[in-house]
Amino acid sequence: AKHEVRTGDVFYIPAGRVHAIGKGIRLLEVQQSSDVTYRIYDYDRLDFNGQPRELHTNLAVQALDFQVYKEYRSEYQENTNTANLCLDTEFFTVRVVDIEEPIRRNMVKYDSFIIQSCVEGECKIRIRSTQDEVTLRQGYSCLIPAAIADYDMIPATPHAKVIESY
């Protein structure tokens, strides 16, 4: 099934679900680290030596989820000046943070690094313990170590939207 996408759409694609990203789509892909990808079709792409890349059809068949689901989009709240829960899986959590004024994010309790990825506008991230600051512009990401994951997010434009993953 083909799904037309709109800005802000979220699709959760667990292991075993066949998917492809269409031409002209810019996205942020959050995933658990894995060394396994089963390529079942490759659009006739070539590797660095000009050869077709290896397909893994036999292995893929054993791992595929053949169930068809009614809906593949994930629904989430879009409230301003808060972190809106988008996905909470056993492997990672994703929140959409849409800010127009400074907010504090104390994430130390999660004992995980935090990745902030700016998708609209720009904001500053200021670490509370050191006052170190970085400007996060649209299209850029910042990894915040777990030990210092208590910080303020300060919009540098009238509006900024950041995807928070941990």
Question: SS3 of 61, please?
Answer: helix
Check 39, 53, 73, 104 and give the catalytic one: 39
Show the beta-strand stretches assigned E in 17-92.
Answer: 82-88
Backbone angles phi and psi of 33, in degrees to 5: -60, 135
Question: SS3 of 125, please?
Answer: strand
- Tell me the HSE value of 36 on the side-chain side, using a 13 A CA sphere: 6
In Å, what is the CA distance from 131 to each residue of 11, 52, 67, 116, 158? Answer: 36, 50, 49, 17, 22
53 catalytically annotated: no
Residue type, 15: A
- What does the alpha-carbon distance between residue 162 and residue 160 come to, in Å, rounded to a whole number? 7
Report the catalytic residues.
Answer: 39
